[in-house]
Amino acid sequence: MIYRENGQFKTTYRADQQIFPIAQDRLFILAALLLAFVVVPALASGYMFRAILIPFAIMSLAAIGVNILVGYCGQISLGSGAFMAVGAYGAYNFFVRIPDMPVIPALVLGGICAMVFGILFGLPSLRVKGLYLAVATLAAQFFSDWMFLRIKYLTNNSASGSVSVSGLQVFGLPIESDMNKYLFCLCLLAVIALLAKNLVRSAIGREWMAIRDMDVAAAVIGIRPMYAKLTAFAVSSFIIGIAGGLWAFIYLGAGEPAAFSVDMSFRLLFMVIIGGLGSIMGSFFGAAFIVLLPIALNQFLPVLAGLFSIEISTAGISHAELMIFGALIVWFLIVEPHGLAKLWSTGKQKLRLWPFPH
């Protein structure tokens, strides 16, 4: 009744090709942006900012990056943690070595480092496919672990290999307070998400999807596999690299290789699979699922146990959290193998018929 496109006539190609052709969708996105940029900062507490919203924003960004590679181009990658690490350490090096380096160029340069690294480790994708490629990209993971633990230059000769920066600022505005940090991450997320959305709708995005769906057929109709695959690696690792810089310096405060371990790669891959392969929206859902759910469970379980006046130990909660989380992943994958994004679109489809389903 409310959500339907009846009566919305497109009279120009422009109007027909916009990201959200339905007015209700545009309104919804506007409302979501308004919520994220205005309402949330006005209401959120320090804990919400620092422990929930900032990691969620950064992880969404990383998930968008992974989704471009895995979801749109179909190249399974387990090197995402490495791309994050390269982005973080790259940004760190530019930040420390060049005096008065503003933060955005440093992050972008870090992203470019990750991009080069990603293209390099994307080369095997021209020969190997599927699960074999996943194994090949693991090499990136181990290589970055080795690189940032061993090459002292990259950590500015820090004794322990842990790096941190301070005095971050954008156009003279310091990124110190929780709200500034959040808004900074959110701005980057919004801009990059918009770019990514447009990219996957463009010619190059269609090339990626053609490669994903059937690479032989794609090659036959004139898509260059090398170009398509390597651009996917480049764009994806660039975005992941920026997310890595944010993760190390905005969220954690200090970066170390262990923060970007193979564990991180797996988590990013799960985000994309659970959120929905080949969907920008799904990246947000996946990030929310993987980042927020464990924390929510961890806080909710003691409360729940308290209702029945049972006292669980810290270790007990943590074990229960892992078990429930694992069970939920399995459950979601059984119920909706196409990810949370599919649930979202099913919901929209249902809403069109509501309240008179036929």
Q: Which residue has the tokens 């799904």?
A: 282
Number of residues that bind another protein (CB under 8 A): 36
Q: Torsion over CA of 267, 180, 105 and 269, rounded to 10 degrees?
A: 10
The least CB distance from residue 192 to another protein, in Å, is: 21
The least CB distance from residue 226 to another protein, in Å, is: 34
Site residues (CB under 8 A) for another protein, limited to 111-150: 145, 149
Work out whether 184 is an interface residue with another protein (CB under 8 A): no
Return the number of the residue (183 or 259) whose C-beta is nearest another protein: 259
Whether the link from the prior residue into 355 is cis, omega within 30° of 0, is yes
The least CB distance from residue 98 to another protein, in Å, is: 13
How many other C-beta atoms are found inside a 10 Å radius of the C-beta of residue 117?
24
Site residues (CB under 8 A) for another protein, limited to 151-180: 156, 159-162, 164-167, 176
Output phi, psi for 169, to 5 deg: -155, 150
Which DSSP string do the residues of 245-268 spell out, in sequence order? HHIIIIIISSB-GGGGSHHHHHHH
The least CB distance from residue 255 to another protein, in Å, is: 9
Question: Applying CB under 8 A, which of residues 120, 190, 295, 301 lies at the interface with another protein?
Answer: 295
Work out whether 258 is an interface residue with another protein (CB under 8 A): yes
Question: Applying CB under 8 A, which of residues 130, 174, 253, 306 lies at the interface with another protein?
Answer: 253
Structure tokens at 232: 């996917």
Q: Which residue has the tokens 């809403």?
A: 351
Work out whether 298 is an interface residue with another protein (CB under 8 A): yes
The least CB distance from residue 282 to another protein, in Å, is: 22
Which DSSP string do the residues of 159-170 spell out, in sequence order? SSS-B-----EE
CA nearest 332: which of 262, 285, 266, 280? 285
The least CB distance from residue 47 to another protein, in Å, is: 5
Return the number of the residue (292 or 329) whose C-beta is nearest another protein: 292
Work out whether 314 is an interface residue with another protein (CB under 8 A): yes
Work out whether 317 is an interface residue with another protein (CB under 8 A): yes
Rounded to whole angstroms, how far apart are CA atoms 158 and 304? 45
The least CB distance from residue 256 to another protein, in Å, is: 5
Pairing, β 169-170 against β 173-174: antiparallel
Work out whether 323 is an interface residue with another protein (CB under 8 A): no
The least CB distance from residue 275 to another protein, in Å, is: 19
Return the number of the residue (253 or 306) whose C-beta is nearest another protein: 253
The 3-class SS string of 31-99 reads: HHHHHHHHHHHHHCCHHHHHHHHHHHHHHHHHHHHHHHHHHHCCCCCCCHHHHHHHHHHHHHHHHHHCC
Return the number of the residue (145 or 207) whose C-beta is nearest another protein: 145
Answer yes or no: are the C-beta atoms of 81 and 147 closer than 8 Å.
no
Return the number of the residue (31 or 310) whose C-beta is nearest another protein: 310
Site residues, another protein (CB under 8 A): 46-47, 50-51, 55, 96, 145, 149, 156, 159-162, 164-167, 176, 251-254, 256-259, 295, 298-299, 313-315, 317-319, 322
